[in-house]
């Protein structure tokens, strides 16, 4: 008699990639152990990185509650023996006017540049015209021009404007500069978003129905642009709030933003370290709040237009 070979799934010694079926539970245990080990390693690395990142914040916070008389670099990492809010009160009194000016500047610069970038991105993505690609590339060149390269001619131009319009000095000057410098990146973000997330068929259908360019934008494109606006608003708000170079060249301590005021607070022969540290924490608080409140929307907005 001839023996008939049984299928592999019936035979007890059936083979699978890497061994027999009998070895499968052991391999699964090994994979589970390896996965647990990798998870533990990742958590350990995350804890190490978190400690490294938060260590300066800890030093700032602890120092801000000390008094100048007891502050010493040898005890900078230790908790104060007597907690004092004098540094916070002094820092707030010195920075409060500049904080208000910075808030107005950052909000206006973010909103205006986001709106202009949205309009530009809509045109470049959905309304093709001769030379549109060349003009779009020229827009992008604006992102690669360093501030330092144009600071001297920019200062002269702004002084000429301020001679005829004194009210333009200070925050209005900074708003204009941040809007102009923010248009290229906002245009790029919105152009990529509209090119992938907004179907061209919808725009074509609105044209067939007789809708004009602005009507199509306001009634069809703008309502679905929230992810793009979240990204650009956060980006521009942070950029304008943290800028110091424009403030140094184009404003002074009386009409400048909080970064200028913070620089004045930290200058001097005998720096008040608790006051300086409190001022740093106060100055960075708005951007921290923005990222905590809108951070998840920032990431989702960046990914919204990545694929069709």
Average pLDDT of the segment spanning 121-146: 86
Domain assignment present for residue 19? The answer is no
Tokens describing residue 114: 């986001």
The pLDDT value recorded for residue 22 is 54
DSSP of 221-265: IGGG-HHHHHHHHHHHHHHHHH--HHHHHH--TTT--HHHHHHHH
**pLDDT confidence of 9, banded at 50, 70, 90?**
very low
Give the pLDDT confidence of 259-303 residue by residue, as tens digits.
988 888 887 777 888 888 999 999 998 888 888 887 777 666 666
- What's the CATH code of the domain at 293? 1.10.3720.10
pLDDT in tens, 129-140: 888 888 888 888
**Count of domains in the chain?**
1
Other CB atoms within a 10 A radius of the CB of residue 156 amount to 10
Residue 240 CA to residue 79 CA, distance in Å, equals 34
* Residue 173 belongs to some domain of the structure: yes
Closest to 304 in 3D by CA, of 237, 252, 227: 227
pLDDT of residue 77: 80
Q: What pLDDT does residue 304 have?
A: 61
Summarised one tens digit per residue, pLDDT across range 37-48 is 888 889 999 999
Most confident of 87-96, 105-114, 222-231: 105-114
Dihedral sign of CA atoms 160, 163, 164, 166 in order:
positive
Task: Identify whether 193 is part of a domain.
Answer: yes
Mean pLDDT of 162-189: 91
Cα angle 159, 165, 167; round to 5: 100
**C-beta separation of 253 from 264 below 8 A:** yes
What pLDDT is recorded for position 60? 86
pLDDT-derived band at 257 (thresholds 50, 70, 90) equals very high
pLDDT at residue 16 above 50? Answer: no
What separation in angstroms does the CA of 276 have from each of 7, 182, 194, 230? 78, 30, 44, 32
Is 165 domain-assigned? yes
pLDDT at 10: 44
In a domain, 159, yes or no: yes
Q: How far is residue 307 from each of residues 70, 129, 169, 228, measured CA to CA in Å?
A: 57, 24, 44, 14
* The most confident of 67-71, 184-188, 207-211, by mean pLDDT: 184-188
- Crossing angle of helices 86-126 and 24-64, rounded to 10°: 130
Give the mean pLDDT of the chain: 83
At residue 201, the pLDDT reads 83
Q: Is the dihedral of CA 12, 13, 17, 19 positive or negative?
A: positive
Asked, for residue 43, whether it belongs to a domain, the answer is no
3 state DSSP class of 127: coil
The answer to whether position 136 is within a domain reads: yes
Domain that holds residue 274: 85-303
Quick check: is 67 in a domain? no
Candidate ranges 121-135, 211-225, 240-254; pick with highest mean pLDDT = 240-254
Over residues 89-113, mean pLDDT: 93
More confident residue, 275 or 78: 275
């Amino acid at each position: 008699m001839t023996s008939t070979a049984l299928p592999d799934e019936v035979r007890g010694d059936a083979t699978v990639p890497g061994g027999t079926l009998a070895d499968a539970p052991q391999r699964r245990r090994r994979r589970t152990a390896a996965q647990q080990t990798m998870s533990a390693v990742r958590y350990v690395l995350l804890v190490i990185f978190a400690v490294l990142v938060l260590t300066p914040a800890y030093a700032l916070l602890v120092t801000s509650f000390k008094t100048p008389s007891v502050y010493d670099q040898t005890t900078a990492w230790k908790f104060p023996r007597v907690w004092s809010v004098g540094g916070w009160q002094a820092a707030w009194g010195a920075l409060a006017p500049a904080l208000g000016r910075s808030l107005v500047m950052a909000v206006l610069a973010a909103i205006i540049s986001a709106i202009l970038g949205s309009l530009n991105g809509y045109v470049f993505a959905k309304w093709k015209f001769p030379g549109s690609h060349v003009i779009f590339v020229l827009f992008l060149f604006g992102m690669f021009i360093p501030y330092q390269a144009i600071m001297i001619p920019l200062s002269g131009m702004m002084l000429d404007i301020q001679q005829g319009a004194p009210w333009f000095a200070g925050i209005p000057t900074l708003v204009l500069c941040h809007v102009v410098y923010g248009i290229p990146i906002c245009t790029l973000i919105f152009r990529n978003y509209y090119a992938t997330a907004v179907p061209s068929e919808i725009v074509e259908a609105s044209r067939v129905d007789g809708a004009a360019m602005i009507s199509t934008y306001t009634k069809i494109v703008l309502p679905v642009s929230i992810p793009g606006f979240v990204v650009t608003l956060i980006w521009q708000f942070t950029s304008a709030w943290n800028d110091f170079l424009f403030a140094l060249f184009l404003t002074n301590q009386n009409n400048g933003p909080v970064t200028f005021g913070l620089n004045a607070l930290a200058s001097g022969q005998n720096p008040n370290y608790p006051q300086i540290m409190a001022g740093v924490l106060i100055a960075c608080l708005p951007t921290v709040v923005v990222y905590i409140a809108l951070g998840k929307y920032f990431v989702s907005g960046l990914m919204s237009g990545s694929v069709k």
